[in-house]
Amino acid sequence: METVEAAMAEEEAKKSKMRKKGGFRTMPFIFANEVAEKLAVLGFTTNMLMYLTRQLHMPLAKAATTLTNFGGVSAMTPLIGAFLADSLVGRFWTIAAASLVYQAGMLLLTVSAAMPVFRPPPCSAVGAGAGAGACEEAAPWQLAVLYVALLLNALGAGGYRPCIVAFGADQFDESEAAERARTWGFFNWYYFCNGASQLVAVTAVVYVQDNVGWGWGLGVPTFCMAVSVVAFVAGYPLYRRLDPSGSPFTRLAQVVVAAVRKRRVAIDAATLYENDDMDAPISLYGKLVHTEQLSFFDRAAIVTNGDLMTDASDSKLPPSSPIPNPWRLSTVHRVEELKSVLRMGPIWAAGILAITASSQQNTFSLQQASTMDRRLAPGLSSFQIPAGSMTVFTLLAMLTTLLAYDRVLVPLARRITGMDRGISYLHRMGVGFAVSVAATLVAGFVELHRRESATAAGTTDAGTSPLSAYWLVPQYALHGVAEAFNSVGHLEFMYDQSPESMRSMATALFWLSISLGSYVSTMLISAVHRWSAGADGSNWLPDNINRGRLDYFYWIVTLLQVLNLAYYTICARCYTFKPLQLREVDEDAKPQVEMQEKTSLIEPVKEQEKASPLI
């Protein structure tokens, strides 16, 4: 008993110390870091298709696959960074180290773009008999330099991306209601700063790349990356820094192993094992309580012979204090950690196809823009909008939606639903999925019109279609609205519903859905490329899209998204939120289990009602 009280006192001392740090005063450092980092990343990824096809002379399909693969790896490495942050290093040091790796990758990429030796000769410099249209593709060693730079950037992203959001949210004390409410505003403003930096990247930085040179165009983002490291480290004295609490993968594996070992043991919910002292480091703000779903894993918390041991070698424990063998016995809290992760799975998976749809903006939508009339003001000015800058319409739509959501929709919805956030993140994601369907549907019709316009003007082989690039604005804008709803809602969902000790891992899972979405895009492009191939060598996705059927490809993506929306609707209606018992309660009141709002995609569900299990 004394040990439990000592552990609780130690945790309270840690919390008291942390309350003196953090809060909104740390946001300028974190947001400055995020703005500079995103400016660096988007500064080269937004227009990278043009660099690969025009500077390294890659075929369109190969360039698109390279970018989607890079995006996939960059979104998968966060699992490694999250593991290191949650179990060994902590979020601050993981972010700092990853930023340095990122900086090395950006420097190598800048050097390779600035020095001609790292690129093949221009098309006009190829041998006389080759013709002006023939281009020599980059040599294997030149591509190797590019791939090393991209790999370093992917590794840097692996440490930065899963930690920065969770680290920012850590600055607010969840044990206080007012602080907990500010967390949700943080997600909106985090994404707003993210979008603002992207807006600068796809306008100013892309303009420099297209009109000044790629050396300067990549040098500016590299400098911004260095600024992001300095900005983040400068706030070190003010941050709340939570200590790592051990490997989350190990704890999940221990629950599974213990449950399998006791698979034939009868379950008695009244006798399940709990140990507040053991769970204190991984439940700083509150512990999870028992739920009926996924009851097979409850067997891990049943005490059987040999599960408890007495550790006489530990001088901190009385000789008679029994401790559990973690591979044979888990606490209810640890069992519920596993259940929470499994319950999140179906909702998490629904985000994959949404990424598959939005990823086309940096590949085929970019190629569409490059074949259209991109004059800023036809008839008044000859200035052309860079094709890579067309995503500015996505960002403007996203920023406008975020502002309208925070300032208009939330106050209005709050009066109707009574929820602090206005609508639940499940509703928010559902709106995003629906808008994403509309975005790809519109893209298909616009491409049909663009191709017919090119055919009528006789520009099927080469040249620019007379159709204005402003026809692409609706599809770009709809993708921006979808991202404001879906991505922010998805991020909120992953952070809130993940166990407290696994929040870096939860953010990594958010990025993993982006990774898988990029890979699905790659596989879909390859499959359509092969399936649509004709005997004459034609297919739907040739280098010259004027001779392809990109509209068919967009409509295939639309059909997949319709099916995904139906799947998500079913999962959202069945989802049950994690039950959390707060550590700090009113002394005059009995401990209450704070059952978070249980809202489905279609209609609210009373807090006392339990939805059917997903798995």
| Total-model pTM | 0.73
H or E segment to which residue 192 belongs: helix 177-200
**Residue of 487, 493, 480, 482 lying closest to 424 (CA atoms):** 493
554: pLDDT strictly greater than 70? yes
Residue 243: predicted pLDDT: 76
**Residue of 341, 340, 324 lying closest to 258 (CA atoms):** 324
Residue 202: predicted pLDDT: 72
**Residue of 504, 559, 37 lying closest to 245 (CA atoms):** 504
Both structure tokens of 483:
């991202």
Of residues 206 and 594, the one with the higher pLDDT is 206
Give the separation between CA 431 and CA 602, rounded to whole angstroms.
11
Q: Regarding the domain delimited by 340-376+383-577, which CATH topology (the fold level of the hierarchy) does it fall under?
A: Growth Hormone; Chain: A; (1.20.1250)
Q: Can you give the three-state secondary structure of 45-63, one letter per residue?
A: HCCHHHHHHHHCCCCHHHH
Domain range 20-120+138-244, CATH class: mainly alpha
Give the separation between CA 375 and CA 396, rounded to whole angstroms.
19
CB atoms within 10 A of CB 90: 19
Q: Are strands 604-605 and 598-599 parallel, antiparallel or unpaired?
A: antiparallel
Give the separation between CA 363 and CA 337, rounded to whole angstroms.
39
Neighbouring residues of 304: CB distance < 8 A, sequence distance ≥ 6: 262, 265, 328, 329
Contact 527, 495 (CB under 8 A): no
Amino acid found at 170: D
Tens of pLDDT, residues 421-452: 778 889 999 999 999 999 999 999 999 988 88
Give the separation between CA 551 and CA 543, rounded to whole angstroms.
15
DSSP code of 139?
Answer: P
H or E segment to which residue 322 belongs: strand 322-324
Give the separation between CA 344 and CA 249, rounded to whole angstroms.
16
Of residues 529 and 314, the one with the higher pLDDT is 529
Residue 321: predicted pLDDT: 63
Chain position carrying tokens 């055919």: 455
- Rounded mean pLDDT, 240-262: 86
Residue 183: predicted pLDDT: 66
Q: pLDDT band for position 572 (50/70/90)?
A: very high
Residue 350: predicted pLDDT: 92
Residue 593: predicted pLDDT: 41
CA atoms within a 13 Å half-sphere pointing along the CA-CB vector of 212: 13
Q: pLDDT band for position 600 (50/70/90)?
A: very low
Contact 583, 285 (CB under 8 A): yes
For the chain, the C-alpha Rg in angstroms (whole number) is 27
Q: Which is it for the CA torsion 418, 188, 514, 53, positive or negative? A: positive
Residue spans per domain, the chain: 20-120+138-244, 248-309+319-335, 340-376+383-577
189: pLDDT strictly greater than 60? yes
H or E segment to which residue 15 belongs: helix 2-19
Tens of pLDDT, residues 260-305: 999 998 888 888 999 888 888 888 777 888 998 899 999 999 998 8
Label residue 142 exposed, middle or buried (CB < 10 Å: 0-12, 13-18, 19+): middle
462: pLDDT strictly greater than 70? no
340-376+383-577 shares the fold of 20-120+138-244: yes
Chain-centroid distance, C-alpha 50: 25
Q: pLDDT band for position 132 (50/70/90)?
A: very low
Residue 136: predicted pLDDT: 79
Give the separation between CA 117 and CA 533, rounded to whole angstroms.
36
Q: pLDDT band for position 344 (50/70/90)?
A: very high
Tens of pLDDT, residues 388-428: 778 889 889 998 998 888 888 888 888 887 777 778 889 99
Mean pLDDT score of the chain, rounded to an integer?
79
82: pLDDT strictly greater than 70? yes
- Of 31-45, 55-69, 335-349, 409-423, highest mean pLDDT: 335-349
Of residues 371 and 463, the one with the higher pLDDT is 371
